[in-house]
Structure 1
Amino acid sequence: MNKETLTKKYTNGTITIVWKPGVCIHSGICVRGLPQVFNTSLKPWINMQQASTEQLIAQVSQCPSGALSFYHNDEQDDLTIQVDAETKLEAVPNGPLLVYGNVLIKDAYGHETRKNKVTAFCRCGHSGNKPFCDGTHKKIGFKDGIEP
């Protein structure tokens, strides 16, 4: 199994957090928000017993790439989340283009991928997972020239 398709699940009995490392853009929001839960120096790096279910849901919901998601264990293991909201695009300074909402992406070969909630698209041109951002912009020092 390669990094692009790898999926890991962590549960506290009430919810299950799903982590897709191939989607992660390493924004660090999870680590900064709940460092007692998300600790990259430990294995496993997610310790769900260190926060309440409500805190976990709030933190995972802030993930800009969708690499972290969750579902309630009493619901079907279905990660297709429909967002009923206006589509919004946001250029992250020196980072990806974030698209909020339901998106259908069709590649040059006609393959379609559905993304929901937040999708991070590469703007630096160096992602190993194009058209999606994989965090390479940080490694190469990408600067977009957009002044705040």
Structure 2
Amino acid sequence: MSDRATDPTSERAGDEKPRLKEYEGEGITVTFEPRRCLHAAECVHGLPEVFDLSRRPWVLPDAAEPARVAEVVRRCPSGALQYHHRPEDAVAEPPDSPTTVRRNPAGQLVVRGDLVVTGAYGDRHETRAMLCGCGASGNQPYCDHSGPCAEPEDDDVPEKR
């Protein structure tokens, strides 16, 4: 298991290449890309025994059944958390089918499916991503809350379609 950084959610926009942290368990490995985390807290609310920001390492994949860990990781809307099972199983996160794209009330594009996202570091195969809808992100094409989506959420804002 590895956890090289002190703060699991910090990474500066000027870093050369996106950093990917790996938390290896017996039946599942969870990866985390801090720069893509938008703090939706699906992980810490879904499985606090696995995901706990007050501890180091903050991810303990073996603290729950692999299927449950995978279920909670799939709730991560930004795609900052991903998973794969043991290499010999060759089972990775299956993409949603059909692929869906929706704009949330903050203007971000929530995309799920069999994706190829092209950014500063080339093409990346993804199953989930939160893409910038305003053009202000320093982590294009992913949202980083640096534009209008950083404003406090307003429950009265109608969802744009």
For normalisation by structure 1, the TM-score amounts to: 0.77
1:50–1:135 CA distance, 2 compared to 1 (3 A): farther
Describe the superposition over 1:55-85 as per-residue Cα deviations: whole angstroms up to 9, x where unpaired. Answer: 1111112111211111111437796x66372
For 2:98, give the aligned amino acid: E
Instruction: Work out which of the residue numbers 102, 113, 123 in structure 1 matches 2:114.
Output: 102
1:67 aligns with 2:77: no
For 1:45, give the aligned amino acid: W
For 1:121, give the aligned amino acid: L
1:136–1:34 CA distance, 2 compared to 1 (3 A): farther
For 1:17, give the aligned amino acid: V
The Cα shift of 1:27 comes to 1.2
The Cα shift of 1:88 comes to 0.9
Runs of 4+ in 1 over 4 A off after TM superposition: 76-79, 142-145
Contact kept? 1:104, 1:112, Cα under 8 Å = no
1:44 aligns with 2:57: yes
CA distance in 1 between partners of 2:44 and 2:102 (Å): 22
Bigger RCO (CA 8 Å, 6+ sep): 1
1:131 aligns with 2:141: yes
CA distance in 1 between partners of 2:147 and 2:41 (Å): 14
Identity %, equivalent residues: 31
1:122–1:4 CA distance, 2 compared to 1 (3 A): farther
How many residues are paired up?
145
SS at match of 1:63: coil
Aligned to 1:122: 132
For normalisation by structure 2, the TM-score amounts to: 0.72
Aligned to 2:29: 16
For 1:69, give the aligned amino acid: Q
Once the two structures are overlaid, the 10-residue window that deviates more, 26-35 or 3-12, is: 3-12
CA distance in 2 between partners of 1:124 and 1:41 (Å): 33
Aligned to 1:5: 18
1:120–1:139 CA distance, 2 compared to 1 (3 A): closer
Unpaired segments ≥5 residues, structure 2: 1-10
Contact kept? 1:37, 1:50, Cα under 8 Å = yes
Instruction: Work out which of the residue numbers 35, 39, 42 in structure 2 matches 1:29.
Output: 42
CA distance in 1 between partners of 2:107 and 2:41 (Å): 13
Q: CA RMSD in A?
A: 3.2
